[in-house]
Amino acid sequence: MKTSAELFRLIKSLSKSEKRYFKLISSLQSGEKNYIKLFDVIDKQEEYDEEEIKTIFKKETFIKHLPSEKNHLYGLILKGLRGFHADKSAASIIQEQLRNIELLYDKALYVECAKIVRKAKKIAYDYEKFYFLLDLIDWEKSLTEEEILRGDFKKDLNLLIKEEEECTEKLRNIAEYQKLYSKLNYAFRKGADYRNKEERKIVDEIAKHPLIIGKRTAMSTKAATACYSIKALCAKRDGNTKLPLENFSKVVTIMENNPFIMQELPKRYIKALNGMMIEYTAMGDWDNCSKYIKKMKDLRDRKGFSNMDVQLKLFIFSSNGELVRNLYLGNYKSSINKLIPEILERVEEFGGKVNKEANLLFNYNISATYFGVGDMKMALKYINYVLNSAETGLREDIFSFARLINLIIHYELGNYDLLNYTIKSTKRYITKNQRNYNFENTFLAGIKKLNKVNDPDELRKTFIKFKKDIVGPYKEIGRDYFGFITWIDSKIQQRPYVELVKEQSRQLV
């Protein structure tokens, strides 16, 4: 039995067009339609309230077996969705054609059957649906055998067997790339900065895999996009911007030259655009950074990108990209006045569908934005959202750096007594979670010393020493996750943090 929450979420996920279609096909059915009454009541609810439903329908007979009515409604909605989207994806079109092929074959209408097989095969090849191709080739073999029995020897079964073998190999090839991508994604999620030896080893092994370093190892367009995506992510481990940009660009080019594959793998295309945006941000190429943010936003109304899952990715990547760009440029007020309210409003509109990692990054970057304008109370509010959502395996690098930013915020707020306790708890956290890398340890030692100094001249010297300890081996880390070094410089030079950020953004260009 489907839970009430599942039914409520399904109804709330429907678009106006989907609801209209469901009502239309329901109106064509005869008999009592209790499920429509139930649908309408649930659709109007802001939160699922079963007691309200029971009260509204207390005089109706069907309310006595409400669980079965909910199950029935759930199944009918899914059936309606299948009908509504039947001509919107290659998979659904081919599945429908396979049903038609079976019906015609059973009626011995072999000529008509063969015609549909040919049409379906073209779609399967255009979209590289190799698993469906295996089914279609199987039908083609059956039709060929029927032709042979009738004395028609025009088709060669050996050619079909060879075609079947090629499809199987391409499926295996795609599966191997997918396995490599999943392993790489795991390493990235564990520690995006690749300082953990275990994750670093995984990335290095993938980067040297024969399918990645070999030439012409990808046996299909889909496999090629996976290969270049993996190459781009592996190249990021050394802080290289040229190679990731080059490989993400290849993914984008392949997709744009193969619209069927782009429509089939929209999220891979979006991730490549996002990857390019990130690299241009790191390079300080603000024009290209803005170009790719806009490119993602423009996809919202494009065919093949209308699914909620894809819309979420477009919103998350483009919005976070804007937030980060503004952080680098020091455009904090622009984010606070317009961008952040828009993000928070859309997160609310998506109704809990924005994933935990996206919410984590939004709150992390919003905190950094308020820090930039010196609003430490708001910065603390959003960094606390990050710290309170800590979850094993979810961007452990972000949780670690959020704890360091938390220390800076408390220092700025003058919470010196609390800071001593927080430094100790942060030390315990990074040790327990094996995040006690040199940067984190050096930072903790530095801020601990700051908390003990009251004399202004001595404080400046302590900041100078703090910077010297960090800048050498940890300059990249001290910039990429937060303006740690910029904050120290603002204290040494007695200048506003935002002023230094804007200076640095001009130097990056």
pLDDT at 1: 40
Of 74, 146, 53, nearest to 106 (Cα)? 146
- The number of CA neighbours under 13 Å toward the Cβ of 58 is 4
pLDDT score of 474 more than 60: no
Tens-digit pLDDT profile for residues 161-182: 999 999 999 999 999 999 999 8
Task: Quote the CA–CA distance of 6 and 31 in Å, as a whole number.
Answer: 26
Q: What are phi and psi of 374, to 5 degrees?
A: 85, 10
- Mean pLDDT, residues 465-491 taken together: 79
Length of the chain: 509
Dihedral of CA atoms 56, 58, 62, 67 in degrees, nearest 10, equals 70
In the block, which residue shows the tokens 């994750």?
A: 199
Tens-digit pLDDT profile for residues 50-98: 888 888 888 888 888 888 888 888 988 888 887 776 556 888 889 889 9
Q: Where are the alpha helices (DSSP H) in 57-109?
A: 66-84, 90-106
Mean pLDDT over each residue of the chain, to the nearest integer: 87
In the block, which residue shows the tokens 């945006």?
A: 277
- Please enumerate in sequence order all residues whose Cβ is within 8 A of that of 104, keeping only pairs 6 or more positions apart, or say none: 110, 112, 113, 116
The amino acid occupying position 392 is T
Helices then strands, each counted (H, E), the chain = 28, 0
pLDDT at 12: 87
Q: What are phi and psi of 154, to 5 degrees?
A: -70, -40
User: Quick one: what percent of the chain has pLDDT higher than 90?
Assistant: 49
Task: Kindly state the tokens that stand for 456.
Answer: 């202004």
**Residue 449 parent element (H or E):** helix 438-450
Q: Are 272 and 248 in contact (CB under 8 A)?
A: yes
Task: Quote the CA–CA distance of 211 and 184 in Å, as a whole number.
Answer: 14
3-class secondary structure, 17: helix
User: Quick one: what percent of the chain has pLDDT higher than 70?
Assistant: 91
Q: Are 410 and 381 in contact (CB under 8 A)?
A: no
Q: What are phi and psi of 434, to 5 degrees?
A: 55, 40
Tens-digit pLDDT profile for residues 222-242: 999 999 999 999 888 766 778
- Mean pLDDT, residues 317-331 taken together: 95
DSSP 123-134: HHHHTT-HHHHH
pLDDT at 196: 65
pLDDT score of 301 more than 70: yes
pLDDT at 66: 85
- Mean pLDDT, residues 99-121 taken together: 92
Tens-digit pLDDT profile for residues 267-276: 999 999 999 9
